[in-house]
Amino acid sequence: MWNFPLLPEQASTVAPHVDLLYFFQVGVSLFFSVLIFATILYFTYHYREGSNIDRSRPIAQSLLLETTWMGIPFVFGMIMFFWGAALFYVDYEAPPGALDVSVVAKQWMWYIQHSQGRAEINELHVPLGQPVKLTMTSQDVIHSFYIPAFRVKQDVLPGRYTSLWFEPTKVGRYHLFCAEYCGTNHSAMGGWVEVMEPADYERWLAEGGTGPSMAQEGEKLFVQHHCAGCHRGSQTVHAPRLEGVFGKSVPIQEGKDVHFVTADVTYIRDSILRPKSQVVAGFEPLMPSFEGQISEPDLLRIIAYIKSIAGEETPQ
Ligand code: CUA
């Protein structure tokens, strides 16, 4: 694939597509800018004062001309819209089976943890040729996770999860930036993404020691915060079991009505921090809020645990 030297490398599957759309838009803008300026110059010269031009029959209306100057930009506008929308949809949802990585932003660093358990700061190691999905949140203000070589950027917000995915296509080291002004050291809030051969990545993960995985850490926290007392085992309090829940549709009681929501990362997070906002149909709103009691990295670990038991049968 050709590469314009002013741009960063194209190192992900979407990068060439993003660039193509970009150059198309630049091309269209350039073409019309040149056309309009040339026309202005031509008319300025041609109809200048004192030039010998026939001005006896000024044109009042031209349907053909008007249709043309509305029709052509309309077509170009629609091409950009549908092309951009198609790309956006590809970019929006990670393909199934993508590698899960958690990102917590804070002033002024990136804390990153792999589902296998290894954590790193301001660095992200990923294997070549495999989709990687980041689940991101912030501990303070709004940040933005930006990897120019992958042509991906996503805001990272406090109080909610956003996600970002990419599939690296080249081994190498690529800049990582914070792209949202977040205070004094915003410009220093960056790092590197290291794309490795899959075998090297496995070796790198193993170098981190044989510590617990995120799901195992999450299970420990699940017990520590006394979630297990109600959500598992011989419970005295009637609470929904969480095996097999992740990714499924959950019935939510709202007044007299029941509606369904998908038990994704956002739903689990809200259920822990604001349990009364979404009470599962058939259960009492008894759960206390854990707002302010569990750190962002720990929340992600608990969610990783609940996700890890998604394949299990829901006990009755
Ligand atoms: Cu974080 Cu700018």
Q: Are 301 and 224 in contact (CB under 8 A)?
A: no
Distance CA 119, CA 114 (A): 6
Per-residue pLDDT tens digits of the chain, which is 316 residues long? 565 677 888 999 999 999 999 999 999 999 999 999 999 999 999 989 888 888 888 888 899 999 999 999 999 999 999 999 999 998 888 898 899 899 999 999 999 998 887 888 999 999 998 999 999 999 999 999 999 999 999 999 998 899 999 999 999 999 999 999 999 999 999 999 999 999 999 888 888 777 788 888 878 877 787 777 777 765 566 777 777 777 778 888 777 888 888 878 888 888 888 887 788 877 777 777 878 788 888 888 888 888 887 777 666 5
With contact defined as beta carbons under 8 Å apart, do 176 and 13 qualify? no
Q: Which pLDDT score, from 0 to 100, does residue 232 have?
A: 75
Relative to beta strand 279-280, strand 132-138 is: unpaired
Residues 105 and 197 in one domain: yes
Rounded-to-integer distance, Cα 269 and Cα 275, Å: 9
* Helix, strand, coil abundance in the chain, percent, nearest 5: 35, 25, 40
The count of structural domains within the chain is: 3
Taking the CA of residue 189 as reference, the ligand 1 atom at the shortest distance is: 1
Tokens of 227: 């979630």
- Look at residues 186, 207, 228 and tell me which one is the last residue of a structural domain: 207
Q: What is the pLDDT of residue 233?
A: 65
pLDDT of residue 314: 63
Residue 268 lies in a domain: yes
Q: Given this model, what pLDDT does residue 284 score?
A: 74
- Backbone φ, ψ for residue 157 (5° rounding): -115, 145
Locate all alpha helices (DSSP H) within 93-124, ordered by sequence.
none
Which of ligand 1's atoms lies nearest the C-alpha of 107? Answer: 1
88/110 same-domain check: no
Nearest Cα neighbor of 138 from 79, 186, 100, 90 is: 186
CA of 105 to the centre of ligand 1 (A): 8
In the listed set 207, 240, 267, which residue is the last one of a domain according to the structure?
Answer: 207
Question: Is residue 197 domain-shared with residue 105, that is, in the same domain?
Answer: yes
* Distance (Å) from CA 277 to ligand 1 centroid: 31
Same domain, 104 and 202: yes
pLDDT at 1: 54
Residue 9 maps to a domain: no
Would 8 be classed as within a structural domain? no
Looking at the structure, tell me whether residues 185 and 225 fall in a common domain: no
28 CA to centre of ligand 1 in angstroms: 33
Same domain, 224 and 188: no
Query: Is residue 1 a part of any domain in this protein?
Result: no
- In this structure, the answer to whether residues 42 and 82 fall within a common structural domain is yes
Backbone angles phi, psi at 91, to 5 degrees: -70, -25
Q: Are residues 85 and 169 in the same domain?
A: no
What is the position in ligand 1's atom list of the atom closest to the CA of 186?
2
pTM equals 0.80
118/83 same-domain check: no
Tell which atom from ligand 1 comes closest to the C-alpha of 182: 2
- Protein residues with CB under 6 Å of any ligand 1 atom: 105, 108, 143, 178, 180-182, 186, 189
The answer to whether residue 134 sits within a structural domain is: yes
Task: Indicate whether 279 and 180 sit together in one domain.
Answer: no
Give all strands of the β-sheet with 99-106 in edge-to-edge order: 119-121, 109-114, 99-106, 132-138, 162-166
CATH (domain of 109): 2.60.40.420
Q: Is residue 7 part of a domain?
A: no
Q: Is residue 52 part of a domain?
A: no
Q: How far is the CA of 155 from the centre of ligand 1 (A)?
A: 10
Nearest CA-CA partner of 197 in 172, 166, 165, 176: 172
Task: Compute the distance from residue 126 Cα to the ligand 1 centre, in Å.
Answer: 22
Measured in Å, how far apart are the chain's first and last C-alpha atoms?
56
Q: Which atom of ligand 1 is nearest to the CA of 180?
A: 2
**Do residues 222 and 200 both lie within one domain?**
no
Q: Yes or no: say if 98 and 132 are a contact pair by the CB < 8 Å rule.
A: yes
Q: Which domain holds residue 224?
A: 214-308
Last residue of a domain, one of 33, 68, 92: 92
Residue nearest to atom 1 of ligand 1 (CA): 143
Evaluate whether residue 103 is within a structural domain.
Answer: yes
| DSSP 8-state secondary structure symbol assigned to residue 145 | E
Shared domain check, 104 and 86: no
